[in-house]
């Protein structure tokens, strides 16, 4: 089982992935962790004696999307960027994650393989949905939770999202991929060239196997939810109305810290990396 069409294009994608890693300008370790869903690829940055922070990337982005963030985040944490099983990246699936319970089990096995009793978890978009999904099921395993424009989660996703993303997955052309990511940007900008090359290679040569669809978590699921949580959303968010999502999140999560990031849309971790990094570090230091 593989997300890639064949081994040749998988090697091409992995070469692009490695070139994206050059943008981090940091040393890292590449780990493969056994789980019942396959081998999960994880990038480790920073001092392993520091408290761990797990990062879960947005859909089709892979762990290399964190190149504007990790250097600063390692000031406070040892950062483990996880390639979500079944999505674009270097994880090697042997089974499909089909529902929220399977996603929870997969991430639990990742934490257990890393020998972590308790971690901080942050996620962008689909990664934010998966991070909260896990935290609801296993709150005792999560110290702090950071959500960057989580997909679904607090408000249903706009139909425009599907109109932008699915043509890119279906037609696999640079035009459609560029259109989708320009829409995600508050300023209508394209991805950084090196990272763009990797993303386009993924759309051309791979098909995501992750079958979990991000949805809104009912208020009842937050009964006795006590994980300290930070929510960051761009004021130009396009996949749902930002203020309505924040309002719902405040009702759901007691003591939630929220910030509306000026000038940012769905790609806020890249567009406004300095602000996002600063707010994240302040939250982790509390």
Confidence (pLDDT) at 88: 95
SS3 of 197, please? Answer: helix
Confidence (pLDDT) at 6: 95
Confidence (pLDDT) at 242: 95
How many Cβ atoms are within 10 Å of 47's Cβ, its own excluded?
Answer: 10
How distant, in Å, are the alpha carbons of 14, 156, 270 from that of 180?
A: 22, 19, 15
Indicate whether this model's pTM tops 0.85. Answer: yes
Confidence (pLDDT) at 176: 73
> Catalytic residue among 57, 155, 205, 266, which?
266
Confidence (pLDDT) at 63: 98
Confidence (pLDDT) at 169: 66
Q: Is 155 a catalytic residue?
A: no
Residues 6+ apart with CB under 8 A from 145: 120, 121, 122, 131, 132, 135, 227, 228, 229, 230
CATH superfamily label, 7-285: Alpha/Beta hydrolase fold, catalytic domain (3.40.50.1820)
Confidence (pLDDT) at 159: 77
Could you tell me the residue ranges of all domains in the chain?
A: 7-285
- Asked if 115 contacts 44 with a C-beta cutoff of 8 angstroms, the reply is no
Residues paired with 52 in a beta bridge = 78
Residues 6+ apart with CB under 8 A from 44: 28, 29, 30, 31, 78, 79, 80, 81
Q: Which pLDDT tens digits describe the chain residue by residue (286 residues)?
A: 899 999 999 999 999 999 999 999 999 999 999 999 999 999 999 999 999 999 999 999 999 999 999 999 999 999 999 999 999 999 999 999 999 999 999 999 999 999 999 999 999 999 999 999 999 999 999 999 999 999 999 999 887 777 766 666 666 678 777 777 877 777 777 889 999 999 999 998 999 999 999 999 999 999 989 999 999 999 999 999 999 999 999 999 989 999 999 999 999 999 999 999 999 999 999 9
């Amino acid at each position: 089982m593989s997300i890639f069409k064949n081994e040749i294009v998988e090697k091409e994608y992995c070469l692009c992935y490695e070139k994206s890693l050059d943008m981090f300008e940091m040393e890292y370790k590449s780990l493969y962790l056994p789980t019942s869903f396959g081998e999960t690829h994880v990038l480790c940055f920073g001092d392993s004696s520091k408290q761990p922070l797990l990062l879960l990337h947005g859909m089709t982005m892979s762990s290399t999307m964190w190149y504007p963030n990790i250097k600063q985040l390692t000031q406070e944490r040892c950062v483990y960027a996880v390639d979500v099983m079944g999505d674009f990246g270097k994880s090697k699936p042997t089974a499909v994650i089909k529902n929220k319970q399977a996603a929870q089990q997969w991430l639990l096995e990742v934490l257990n393989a890393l020998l972590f009793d308790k971690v901080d978890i942050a996620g962008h978009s689909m990664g934010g949905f998966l991070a909260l999904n896990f935290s609801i099921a296993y709150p005792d395993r999560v110290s702090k939770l950071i959500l960057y424009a989580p997909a679904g989660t607090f408000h249903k996703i706009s139909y425009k999202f599907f109109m932008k993303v699915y043509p890119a997955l279906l037609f696999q052309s640079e035009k459609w991929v560029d259109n989708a990511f320009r829409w995600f940007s508050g300023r209508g900008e394209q991805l950084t060239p090196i990272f763009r090359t990797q993303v386009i290679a993924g759309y051309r040569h791979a098909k995501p196997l992750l079958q979990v669809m991000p949805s809104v978590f009912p208020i009842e699921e937050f009964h006795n939810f006590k994980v300290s949580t930070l929510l960051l959303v761009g004021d130009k968010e396009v996949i749902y109305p930002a203020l309505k999502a924040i309002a719902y999140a405040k009702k759901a999560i007691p003591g939630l810290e929220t910030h509306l990031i000026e000038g940012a849309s769905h790609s806020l971790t890249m567009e406004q990396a300095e602000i996002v990094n600063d707010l994240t570090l302040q939250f982790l230091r509390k």
